[in-house]
Amino acid sequence: MRRRMEKVAFVFPGQGSQYVGMGRDLYETYPEARALFDEADGILGFPLSKLCFEGPKEELDDTINTQPALLMVSVALLRTLELNQLNLLNPLAVAGHSMGEYTALVAAGALDFAHALKLVRERGRLMKEAGELNPGAMAAIIGLDAGTLEGICREAGSQLPASSVQIANYNSPGQIVISGHKEALEWAMKLARERVAKRVVPLAVSIASHSPLMRPAAERLRRVVEATPFRRARIPVVANVTAEPITAPEEIREELVTQLTSPVRWMESVRWMAAQGVTTFVEIGPKDVLTGLIRRIDKGVRTVSVGDVAGVEAFLSV
């Protein structure tokens, strides 16, 4: 098969890719997916699979549920592909966007599914508590380069010394997300409009992800991560914080803690993988958010989205 000759990376989405109904077709079609959904329900002690299939949306969108739900569906897709001999591809690297990094660690063999599920459930809980303690905001800025936006964040922070705002996600050229205290973020949004950003889009969140407001969550998550068993990754995991590969358990633990308060360097991560020879990026998880970002980052690579049964069957038939 031609796809076995390709140099492939697997990538996994984070929050924002969830939707009510995700995973239902997998559960109904593939016994291996059904077993994993049932396993997750047992581990967490409540029917997470039913929440994915039926909602309500407001409950699924609560970060304490969103994070384990996305991990469960993405790993179910991965297991389905692996059991259909996709492991013959031998990906050169794996990466995940924000919470998707936990799925990447499962794919790389560094973290068991059960431990990953408990970790992201706790991560979601701690992030929710930190957001209630230190409410913040986020916004997507379209059409400004990273250097200009970094300067805007510094300027906004200097105008409001008690507040801060920083880049949360370097998603793709011209699409960057900022995060921080609401006052500083609103000032940065005003400056972005003045610098002729194409669009400034406030996000419907009260949690300032990947900013210093998540420091209380990071400090508490460290204790949980330190108590979690990790193995050396079989496949390099391209880290959100550094956009460089990590494999050792001590590197992984530090990454997962630091990631909560640091920007996701997605553009650099994709470019690093492409520089290592990756020609095809396979997004494994609901929707195709990362596929769209990767196409804007590097038009020379091939992208494939595997987010449901139709995606699984189309990819396995190539």
Question: Which residues are marked as active site?
Answer: 98, 210
Do 203 and 139 meet the contact criterion of CB atoms below 8 Å apart? Answer: yes
Torsion (CA) 32, 98, 91, 282 in degrees, nearest 10: 70
Please provide residue 237's backbone torsions phi and psi, each rounded to the nearest 5 degrees: -105, 120
Q: Parallel, antiparallel, or unpaired: how do β-strands 302-306 and 280-284 relate? A: parallel
**CA 5 to CA 14: how far, in whole Å?**
28
Token pair belonging to 201: 């889009």
Token pair belonging to 121: 């459930």
**CA 76 to CA 284: how far, in whole Å?**
10
| DSSP-H helix ranges across 160-207 | 182-194
Q: Any idea how long the chain is?
A: 318
Q: Is 254 strand, coil or helix?
A: helix
Do 138 and 168 meet the contact criterion of CB atoms below 8 Å apart? Answer: yes
Please provide residue 176's backbone torsions phi and psi, each rounded to the nearest 5 degrees: -135, 140
State the Rg of the chain over Cα.
19
What letter does residue 202 receive in the DSSP assignment? E
CB neighbours (10 Å) of residue 303?
17
Return the amino acid letter for 305. Answer: S
Alpha carbon separation from 305 to 47, 96, 212, 215, 281 (Å, rounded): 27, 14, 33, 34, 8
**CA 67 to CA 34: how far, in whole Å?**
19
**Which residues lie below 8 Å from residue 154, measured CB to CB, with a gap of 6+?**
none
